[in-house]
Amino acid sequence: MTAKEQGRRFVVGNWKMHGLRADLAEAKAIAMEHGGLADRVDAGLCLPATLLGDAVGALRGLPLLLGGQDCHMEEQGAFTGDVSARMISDLGAALVIVGHSERRQYHGETDAQILAKARAARAAGLHPIICIGETEPERDAGQTLDRLAVQIEDGVPEDFAPNDFTIAYEPVWAIGTGRTPSTDEIAEAHAFIHERARTRLRADASPRVLYGGSAKPENAAELFSIDAVNGALVGGASLKAQSFIKIVRTAAQL
């Protein structure tokens, strides 16, 4: 992404393990609507790997970015069931999520693996979205910022440029629960992430930092009113064009 795009908000949908080919109609509707807003806001959809090739074909020529939800750190090899960054890029996709908390939780992914995946994504020409965030016990114990610091130090490649990637701050306890941190808590976490990312990259600028965790049309205006929030990573509310496009529209307006 260019420095000019850096100033714009970025709204990304994460379909997780949802969606059959018939649901590409929703992706198409999202892409068409976003087409009219693309001069003001960047948007993307991270789809199941099974849909990605068809989606690239169906959405050709539209500015909506498409992406995968995970990639292996190796280019190829004996890793049954895994998908490499190069395979995702070969389909014509532009993005890939790495380090989502569901990968950390259910697949035991570590920060070291996430760093290697982010590097593999860049090497394949993809723009990685690196997810970080504290669990509920960590927040309750007052360890949120410490946890974020470790995830940035160990999971973000220090030789990346700020425009090479995006960070998504997703408090684990806010994902899919309908609960969100307060505006002050989000502002504090985002300001901290920007500062730590600049330090890690030894750069004057930081990557865009998206908020994720129960983002929806009803709270989008509040989220985007926070200065250090550069967009959103949206799960449940991205499955239907109607709700996702409302969030994209709000990001374009504010």
Phi, psi of 44 (to 5 degrees): -150, 165
The least distance separating ligand PGA from the CB of residue 14, rounded to whole angstroms, comes to 4
Q: Is 3 helix (H, G, I), strand (E, B) or coil?
A: helix
Contacting positions for ligand PGA (CB under 6 A): 14, 170, 175-176, 212-215, 233-237
Active site includes 100?
yes
The least distance separating ligand PGA from the CB of residue 223, rounded to whole angstroms, comes to 11
| Identity of the residue, 17 or 78, whose beta carbon is nearer to ligand PGA in the bound complex | 17
| Identity of the residue, 11 or 252, whose beta carbon is nearer to ligand PGA in the bound complex | 11
| Rounded Cα distance, 245 and 238, in Å | 8
Torsion of CA 238, 243, 244, 246, to 10 degrees: -160
Catalytic residue selected from 33, 138, 170, 194: 170
Contact 30, 61 (CB under 8 A): no
The closest alpha carbon to 93, from 124, 120, 117, 116, belongs to 124
The least distance separating ligand PGA from the CB of residue 135, rounded to whole angstroms, comes to 14
Active site includes 134?
no
| Identity of the residue, 86 or 103, whose beta carbon is nearer to ligand PGA in the bound complex | 103
The residue nearest ligand PGA at its CB is 235
Counting Cβ atoms within 10 Å, is residue 81 exposed (0-12), middle (13-18) or buried (19+)? Answer: exposed
Nearby residues of 94 by Cβ (< 8 Å), 6 or more positions away = 44, 65, 66, 67, 126, 127
Contact 231, 12 (CB under 8 A): yes
Catalytic residue selected from 72, 100, 190, 194: 100
The least distance separating ligand PGA from the CB of residue 22, rounded to whole angstroms, comes to 21
- The DSSP H or E segment spanning 188 is helix 183-201
Contact 66, 93 (CB under 8 A): yes
Q: What is the DSSP string of 212-254?
A: ESS--HHHHHHHHTSTT--EEEESGGGSSHHHHHHHHHHHHH-
The least distance separating ligand PGA from the CB of residue 214, rounded to whole angstroms, comes to 4
| Identity of the residue, 137 or 176, whose beta carbon is nearer to ligand PGA in the bound complex | 176
| Identity of the residue, 13 or 162, whose beta carbon is nearer to ligand PGA in the bound complex | 13
Point out the residues that are catalytic.
Answer: 100, 170
